[in-house]
Amino acid sequence: MKSLPILVYKLGGASVRDPEALRNVLHLLEHRPPHHHLVLVVSAMGKTTNGLEALLRFSDPNDPACQRAWRQVYDFHANIVTTLFPEPELLLRKMDTLLTEALDWLEQRNRLDFDFLYDQVVSLGEQVSTLILADWLELNKIPVAWFDARQLIRTDATWREAKVNWSGTAHLVRRHLAPLFSRPMAPLVLTQGFIGATVEGKTTTLGREGSDYSAAILSYCLEAKGMTIWKDVQGVLNGDPKEFEAPELLPELSYQDAIEMAYFGATVMHPKTLQPLHDACIPLEVKSFVQPNAPGTHVSSRTKSPAKPCYIVKRRQALLTIFQDDFRFATEGLLSEALQLLQEHRVKVHMVQNSALRVELCVEGESHRLDSLAEQAVAKGWNFTMHKPMILITVYQAGDLKQEPKLRGMGQLRMEQRNANTWRLLFEEEV
Ligand code: ASP
Ligand code: MG
């Protein structure tokens, strides 16, 4: 017998952020298409990842401020659990044990690489959210098989930005999930987004907002019929509603447009998500969990580019200027050396302008990485300046737009680039 087609749903933090949202998950599941197997890939609840990141600022887990920060994360989940469950005690105990691991890891901080420690602590958010969700589905008589994503997603040991080992992952997914899906009445599969493990079983994470990517990896390995990202917006809009007034829905996008927009910084999906879906021709829907029957955005290979300009904002950028007055090093040497230095520091480059003696780069990276990069640039004898914060605006499908009222009132313009369909502007961010 041929097994049923598989759908993959990705539920982001907002779709599981409070008791109401968890009730809404039941509604989503009730209205799912019949005769499909379903895989649910779930993020940490609400802003939990930020809460866990905050714990990492403390060197001593017994510091009362650290204990308070931990309590906040615990209480946030406990409130959801005590509101929803008539007998919450056992689940609360399991949650406590799991979250206490964060403090145990902090205890060992001095012996550990920070990025490794980060993955061990921050991955607890997804573990707790799926622990709660599994019990919630069971309480509501929805058969569910909970899987630890670390048994499915195999990665290398690039902590905080792990690279997927595709053949290892495909093998694990087949081994663990195929037997389940060969049954017509399989339970739905629930697993964590964002996390994976090395071959030694050490927990890794795929980069912030990486749950979309997890869902795409599983979709690819399962040859899913479709993947849906459930959001708190209608779909992909032509501007972030937090930044621009009344953005409009883009009903259809090609994979190319979607990957370009995600790369430029559209936060509606993680840029790595598109590649596996494109390679396996799996259509992606981006839909509102508040109005699950509304059409949302459909991403596939068959669509035309959006007819309207799309405005994408990336904040927290830095402008680096490297000036070299020694003519011997003029031209490409400086640029390639600068790019290499950025890569070594895991700093991302979004825009480059160079001349014989000068390179200007719009980059993004954590403060400590930028600081150490600056130190090395100075040690190399470069004339180096760094200006931040900057804000990068990309107008995708800009056509022949010249003056843009939406961009009025920004800070001082420091860099600008334009090509056939893209207009990028880097402003000083007013703080
Ligand atoms: N929880 C992770 C984050 O907030 C991953 C995700 O939600 O996609 O970055
Ligand atoms: Mg997200």
Confidence at residue 184, expressed as pLDDT on a 0 to 100 scale: 78
The structure tokens listed for 426 are 């880097």
Ligand 1, atom 8: closest residue by C-alpha: 209
Q: State which fold the 6-232 domain adopts.
A: Carbamate kinase (3.40.1160)
Atom of ligand 1 nearest to the CA of 208: 9
pLDDT band at 1 (very low <50, low <70, confident <90, very high): very low
Interatomic CA distance for residues 233 and 296, integer angstroms: 9
Mean pLDDT of 72-76: 98
**What's the pLDDT tens digit per position in 86-116?**
999 999 999 999 999 999 999 999 999 999 9
Mean pLDDT of 169-188: 92
Phi, psi (5° rounding) for residue 113? -65, 135
Between 195 and 245, the more confident residue is 195
Atom of ligand 1 nearest to the CA of 214: 8
Residue type, 382: W
**What's the pLDDT tens digit per position in 210-251?**
999 999 999 999 999 999 999 999 999 999 888 888 899 999
Percentage of the residues of the chain whose pLDDT score is greater than 70: 97
Least confident of 66-70, 191-195, 271-275, 331-335: 331-335
Cis before 389? omega within 30: yes
Cα(244) to ligand 1 centroid in Å equals 23
Instruction: Kindly tell me if the per-residue pLDDT of 138 is higher than 90.
Output: yes
pTM higher than 0.85:
yes
The structure tokens listed for 64 are 């009362």
Cα dihedral: 327, 331, 332, 334 (round 10): 50
Cα(213) to ligand 2 centroid in Å equals 10
Interatomic CA distance for residues 169 and 40, integer angstroms: 17
* Ligand 1 contacts CB of residue 193 (under 6 A): yes
In b/e form, how buried is each residue of 284-314, taking b as 16+ CB within 10 angstroms?
bbbbbbbebeeebbbbbeebebbeebbbbbb
Least confident of 55-69, 282-296, 323-337, 378-392: 323-337
Interatomic CA distance for residues 112 and 105, integer angstroms: 9
Mean pLDDT of 257-282: 91
- Tally the residues of the chain: 431
* Ligand 1 contacts CB of residue 44 (under 6 A): yes
Confidence at residue 303, expressed as pLDDT on a 0 to 100 scale: 77
Ligand 1 test: best mutation among 45, 160, 194, most atoms within 8 Å of CB?
194
**CB distance 426 to 391 below 8 Å:** yes
Instruction: Kindly tell me if the per-residue pLDDT of 391 is higher than 80.
Output: yes
As a 3-state breakdown, the chain gives helix, strand, coil percent values, each rounded to 5, of 40, 25, 35
Interatomic CA distance for residues 150 and 203, integer angstroms: 7
Ligand 1 test: best mutation among 76, 208, 217, 267, most atoms within 8 Å of CB?
208
* Ligand 1 contacts CB of residue 13 (under 6 A): yes
**CB distance 220 to 278 below 8 Å:** no
The domains of the chain are located at 6-232, 310-428
Please identify which residue in the block is written with the tokens 């001593």: 60
**What's the pLDDT tens digit per position in 346-366?**
999 999 998 878 899 999 999
Q: State which fold the 310-428 domain adopts.
A: VC0802-like (3.30.2130)
